[in-house]
Amino acid sequence: MRAIILSAGYGTRLWPLTEDRTKPAIPILGKPLVGYVAEYLAGYGFNEIVVNLHHRPESVRKALGDGSRFGVNLHYVEEPVILGTSGALDNTREFFDRDTFLVVNGKIITDIDLQAALDTHRKTNALATLVLLPNTRRERFSVVETEAGRITRFSGMPDPAADGPAPLMFTGIHIMEPRIFDYIPRGVFSDSVTHVYSPAMANGEVIAAHVSSGKWRELSTLNRYLEISVEMLRETGQTFFAGDNSRISPDADVTDSIIWDGVEVGAGAAVSRCVLGDNVTIPSGERIENSIVVRRDLVDGKKRPEKSLAGEFRGENFVVPL
């Protein structure tokens, strides 16, 4: 079975962690985010997988290789100009023109029952099926309206103060039939919701809703990256994670933190609820908390992306408070 992992985005809200890599290549407890997606798909028999690339494509290739260690066979397709969620499909349509296929966002970690979603898709004879979850915390994810198992409308953000049943949100997992290409514009940027699903529904096509349950973690901001990483740490009983060739002084106090490769934390330093990027040094005695830290030379002289959080230089480090 075939799938595409959407991995071409810039990840500006995760800057500065995405200065030298794209969002799906960011490590989560030592494994690239997109690696979790590949393993998830492999568990349901999706073993031929396209990965579309644009920003820092070499970082995804390095993180995934040929896919064998994640149980899949990967096909990389680069987009010199970013094409959007359905434009990426147009760019790879020859790979998906034979049978039902899956589209999944490269920034999620989930255990949603994909087989149940496939069963829904087949029963409904839908053009596409979107996997939804109740947005119980009413986070800022677009509301998806449904009726009798069909999607009827994509609307705005939920009201955090509203009462009543939790609104439904899209998980970034779609199941599609090859005739979806009848609705995808050729050779231009296009978005699945705006340019494909809305016109298809207006034409009478069934876009099915599969309301699921289970864990679903979406890592699109620095705060979410830290919170989810710490949550996963606690599930394993660890207080911090340190990557390859990192040296943490026995006299340092490190808690609820994610440490990438080649990091050094000096004696008497205190690090709490932080992400320390590759090759960062925290000097002896320094205290830092609730922050993202990368090397100064990684971002010095670079323009901060519009949607990213502001930071400051502290010695040889660049620190973004959360």
248 and 172 assigned to the same domain? no
228 and 202 assigned to the same domain? no
Average pLDDT of span 227-243: 94
pLDDT at 128: 98
Using a pLDDT cut of 90, give the percent of the chain over it.
88
194 and 252 assigned to the same domain? no
Asked if the model's pLDDT at residue 290 lies above 90, the reply is yes
Asked if the model's pLDDT at residue 140 lies above 90, the reply is no
251 and 127 assigned to the same domain? no
- Domain hosting residue 121, numbered range: 2-218
7 and 40 assigned to the same domain? yes
Q: pTM for the complete prediction?
A: 0.91
pLDDT at 161: 80
| 143-154 residue pLDDT tens | 999 999 999 999
Q: Which residue has the tokens 């069963």?
A: 119
Q: Which of 202, 218, 234 is the last residue of a domain?
A: 218
243 and 154 assigned to the same domain? no
Asked if the model's pLDDT at residue 24 lies above 90, the reply is no
- We report the CATH number of the domain holding residue 185 as 3.90.550.10
Average pLDDT of span 257-282: 98
Structural domain count, the chain: 2
Asked if the model's pLDDT at residue 164 lies above 90, the reply is no
239 and 207 assigned to the same domain? no
95 and 14 assigned to the same domain? yes
